[in-house]
Amino acid sequence: MDIGRAAFITELVCGVMEVVGKSNIADYFLVLRLVDPQGIDTTSSTVEWALAELINNPEKMAKAQDELEEVLGKDRLIQEVDISKFPFLQAIVKETLRLHPPAPFLLPHKAETEVEMCGFTVPKNAQILVNVWAMGRDSSIWTNPDLFMPERFLEQDIDFKGQYFELIPFGAGRRICPGLPLANRMVHLMLASLVHFFNWKLADEMNPENMDMSETFGLTLHRAKPLRAIPIRV
Ligand code: HEM
């Protein structure tokens, strides 16, 4: 791990400790385990889905590889400062989080008071689950919602940092995921490295067209069948 990354993680942990100081530590770790059972569950699931979608859509994979090679050449490793130079890579991550949000219902919230919203009454103390998975597949928000089309994010200036309510895989507002800045960097860096230096072949002689892209639902969302792919050094 490089010094910059280590300093960043230390800073994040300190920030988290501040939060813990103001709340119940047992609840905090319970939530942390639920959201991120092994510390990287949500992050690794995002990278796995992004890679699966790229293998399933070879022309998008080629476009991502071209973009990386144009800026980095054949040998240079991507650094954190480079991420902003890759609009298509960023669009791939957004599109992956739209289609496969690792926390499909965010975390349960509770209404502190009765609220009127869009003609509905949400009673005090009601438990609220926000179905971001369904929002990502809603045809009144997205054209061809079931298709993996990263290009849609090249045409519109939307990110997932809580300002655009059509795309909130990390939640929004006060309870937004505190790991967002770290996850954002990790997903881009991991995915870019995997795609820049390797071509990918599916195991067991499978073709991209008959890949199983089904999901398992729970508090977190995963691939029903883990991605089995073989890296081939470019
Ligand atoms: C792609 C990666 C990730 C996604 C999509 C994600 C998503 C989420 C979501 C949806 C929530 C609940 C927000 C709400 O209450 O509405 C959450 C909470 C949380 N996340 Fe993440 N997360 C990711 C990565 C991480 C990482 C890397 C960490 C730690 C380093 C982390 C730590 C936490 C913690 C501690 C909470 C609970 C915060 C609270 O109690 O309010 N997450 N995350």
**In the predicted structure, residue 19 carries a pLDDT above the cut 80:** no
Between 15 and 50, residue with greater pLDDT: 50
Task: Please give the distance, rounded to the nearest whole angstrom, from the Cα atom of residue 234 to the centre of ligand 1.
Answer: 34
pLDDT, mean of residues 17-45: 54
Annotated binding site for heme: 177
The pLDDT score that the predictor gives to residue 3 is 37
The pLDDT score that the predictor gives to residue 71 is 97
Ligand 1 atom with minimal separation from the 31 CA = 37
Band the pLDDT of 205: cuts 50, 70, 90.
Answer: confident
The pLDDT score that the predictor gives to residue 25 is 38
Q: What is the full DSSP assignment across 57-95?
A: SHHHHHHHHHHHHHHHTTTPPP-GGGGGG-HHHHHHHHH
**In the predicted structure, residue 89 carries a pLDDT above the cut 60:** yes
Pocket of ligand 1, beta carbon within 6 A: 31-32, 35-36, 42-43, 46, 102-103, 106-107, 169-171, 175, 177-179, 182-183, 187
Q: Pick the residue whose CA is nearest to atom 35 on ligand 1.
A: 32
Annotated binding site: 177
The pLDDT score that the predictor gives to residue 13 is 44
Buried b (16+ CB within 10 A) or exposed e, 2-15: eeeeeebeeeeeee
Band the pLDDT of 195: cuts 50, 70, 90.
Answer: very high
**In the predicted structure, residue 11 carries a pLDDT above the cut 90:** no
Element (H, E) at 229: strand 229-233
**In the predicted structure, residue 72 carries a pLDDT above the cut 70:** yes
d(CA 36, CA 220): 9
Q: Residue type for 107, please?
A: L
CA dist list (Å): 3 to 6, 89, 181, 185, 192: 5, 25, 17, 15, 20
Query: Contact 36/182 with Cβ under 8 angstroms?
Result: no
Q: Pick the residue whose CA is nearest to atom 3 on ligand 1.
A: 42
Q: How many Å separate Cα 133 from the centre of its chain?
A: 12
- The closest alpha carbon to 98, from 40, 28, 170, belongs to 170
Phi first, then psi: give them for residue 223, nearest 5 degrees: -70, 140
**In the predicted structure, residue 12 carries a pLDDT above the cut 70:** no
Band the pLDDT of 217: cuts 50, 70, 90.
Answer: confident
Structural domains for the chain: 3-233 (1.10.630.10)
- The closest alpha carbon to 63, from 154, 161, 155, 144, belongs to 154
**In the predicted structure, residue 61 carries a pLDDT above the cut 90:** yes
Q: Pick the residue whose CA is nearest to atom 2 on ligand 1.
A: 43
**In the predicted structure, residue 113 carries a pLDDT above the cut 80:** yes
**Residues 137-191 pLDDT 10s:** 999 999 999 999 999 999 999 999 999 999 999 999 999 999 999 999 999 999 9
Three-class SS state of 3? helix
Q: pTM above the 0.95 mark?
A: no
pLDDT, mean of residues 53-60: 97
Q: Which residues pair with 128 in a beta bridge?
A: 109
